[in-house]
Amino acid sequence: MSERPIQPARSVAAVLLAAIWLLPLWWAVVSALRRSDTIFKYLSPLSVWTLWPRDFTLDNVAALLSGPFLKAIVTSVFVTGMTIGVGLVLCAAAAFALAVFRFRGQSVVFACLVVSFLIPFDSIAVPLSSVMRQAGLQNSYLGLILPGLGNGLAVFMLRQFFLGIPRELGEAAMMDGLGWWGIFHKIYLPLSRPALIGAGLILFVFQWQAYLWPLLIAPNPQYRVAAVAVADFIGQYDVDFGQMFAAAVLGALIPMIVLLLFQRDFSSSVASSGTKE
Amino acid sequence: MTKGRRGLGGFLADFLRGSREGWAAFLFLAPAIAMVLVLRILPSTQAIIDSVRLPNGSLGLGNFTFLLGDPGFQNSLKVTLLFALIVNPLQIALALALAVLLNDRVPAIGLWRTILLLPVAIPQSISAVIWSVIFRPDGPLNAVLGALGLPEQRFLTSVDQALFCIIVMVSWIGVGYWMTFLIAGLKDIPASLYEAATIDGASAWQQFRHVTLPQLRRPLTFVLVADTVANFLIFAPVQILTSGGPEGSTDLIMNNLYTRAFITNDAGGAAAQTLILVAVVVTIVSVQFRLMLPKEGQA
């Protein structure tokens, strides 16, 4: 079906749009790789040096990595990793219960769970931060991780996928003496790789992006995450633009790589929930 | 549906009767339910308590009446509404155009799609930092305008332009993401519909108007709702690019709430505002949830 002939005008438009979309990122990369004091130097008149680092240097990157930013990246990796690990188990267990068990009120429990988690977390972040402060979770990894664990979209996607697995598989396993937990992690989870990757990506993007919540719950620089650490450059009196761009590029690189690795799963899993007739 | 009407009570009844499936279901659901309690119910309760507690220690609705009469809040509502009325139709039109463009008949099509999708993976705060330099008076955007012989613009420091700068930036972030949903929708349209239209002599525009658009109704509605929620709660770009200024012209509702809670330290007002915010969001999200479910009889 997609074997239809290539259209030149359409193709040119696609390339141009992609170039425009890439330009801000490309300029950030180039700026990270030139001397701080030359970042605005090649803007007017525009020339090839606007988009290519004439004074190529890795000084910005080196200076950045010797400072506190590296710690922020590590914190982000740790917090996001824990979120994915624990969050996937939590969401998959809930999705399993909602797909496999038959109990009264199931559809209401499902709706309540998904709708509560679909409420964007930021809208409730302000009162939650005062609750968590009272609970002594300010400036702690637990405080940073908790909000990312329950995700409505992930529960929804996993449940839809579990519903497609024949119940007979579980019933047969039960005859062989396998308990519910066994059916869950020996049969359902291994069969659900694509849905688990999709759900994992959702959890990943949420946590790596988090900005407002870390700002509220972890003001201590020791718990800075990358998304906040990059923004910290803006408030400084004398901004080091080279280091700022190096930080922006490093903070963006990890999620971009993850997206590139799993884009296929992302497109198929996320896009198929909610758009099907 | 009749099964559902018995609701949470039915679930609890099964569970309390000690039915084995009820117990097992409860154990699998318990962590998620605990998270709903801690992350949604508890803070909502806290917000309700804070919102009716007045500065003088008594209880009442004073925080709400003060909030609704506050010119800063009224301005923020106006800005948020204006923003929503522009950014949502704009992003959906762009996403639709991109989806149609990048549906087929282009070489290396996956590459272009991926590039458009990249910004959504980047934290919004990082995108905002990059764009804050792009919008500088001595930044690259003015350099491009200059090269084209156009006058320089003030962008983020202009009352008239700042909100549009934010619209441009968040559209750069979001459009590729919404495009992905619409491409999935396009793939589901049976090719036979287009073949029939071609046989009837329909032009490309007529095919788009009478086949593509009606067939995309469901994914388009979903994207509209999900996009509206996402744009309603934009925070990092505003805080980083403009802090709501100049003269409150970009003071979107989340930035207004953040300022109220942590700069002006009005806990009661912030709690009242949170409740209003959550009420709006719950309404939109409930619609979104209905759209996510497969149609009746097609579970």
Residue A276 confidence (pLDDT) above 80: no
Q: How far is B105 from chain A (nearest CA, A)?
A: 4
Judge: A108–B236 Cβ closer than 8 Å, yes or no. Answer: no
Shortest CA gap B162–chain A (Å): 17
CATH value of B65-292 in 3.90.110.10, 1.10.3720.10, 3.30.428.10, 1.10.10.10: 1.10.3720.10
Q: Which residues of A touch B51 (CB under 8 A)?
A: none
Out of B124, B138, B191, the one facing A40 most closely (by C-beta) is B138
Residues 6+ apart with CB under 8 A from A169: A187
Q: Is A49 exposed, middle or buried (0-12, 13-18, 19+ CB in 10 A)?
A: middle
| CB-nearest partner of A106 from B3, B139, B278 | B3
Q: What is the mean pLDDT of residues B178-189?
A: 90
Instruction: Say whether A274 and B25 touch across the interface (CB within 8 A).
Output: no
State yes or no: pLDDT of A35 exceeds 50.
yes
Which candidate from B15, B32, B42 shows the least CB-CB separation from A90?
Answer: B32
Give the number of A-B residue pairs with CB atoms closer than 8 Å.
Answer: 326
- The domain segmentation of chain A, as residue ranges, is 1-57, 67-272
Confidence of residue B2 (pLDDT cuts 50, 70, 90): very low
How much is the pTM?
A: 0.88
- pLDDT at site B18: 55
Among the listed residues B59, B49, B58, the one whose alpha carbon sits nearest the alpha carbon of residue B275: B49
A121·B121 Cβ contact <8 A:
no
B103: pLDDT strictly greater than 50: yes
Q: CA B2, A155, A116, B231 torsion: positive or negative? A: negative
From CA A249, how far away is CA A30, in angstroms rounded?
10
Q: Which of A6, A29, A42, A104 to probe by mutation at the B interface, max B CB count within 10 Å? A: A104
H/E element, B36? helix B20-36
Maximum CA extent, chain A: 77
Q: Which helix (H) or strand (E) holds B87?
A: helix B71-101
Interface confidence (ipTM) of the complex:
0.89
Cross-chain residue pair B14–A5, CB shorter than 8 Å: no
Q: pLDDT value at position A245?
A: 92
User: Among the CATH numbers 1.10.3720.10, 3.40.50.620, 1.10.10.10, 3.50.70.10, which is that of A67-272?
Assistant: 1.10.3720.10
CB contact (8 A) between residue A260 and residue B254: no
pLDDT in tens, A202-260: 899 889 999 999 999 999 999 999 999 999 888 777 888 889 999 999 999 999 999 88
pLDDT of residue A12: 92
B38 in contact with A, Cβ within 8 Å: yes
φ and ψ at residue A34, rounded to 5 degrees: -125, 170
Partner-chain residue, chosen from B127, B143, B180, that has the shortest CB–CB distance to A43: B143
Which of B28, B130, B261 faces A97 most closely, judged by CB atoms? Answer: B28
pLDDT in tens, A136-166: 999 999 999 999 998 888 898 899 889 988 8
Contact A119 B278 (CB under 8 A): yes
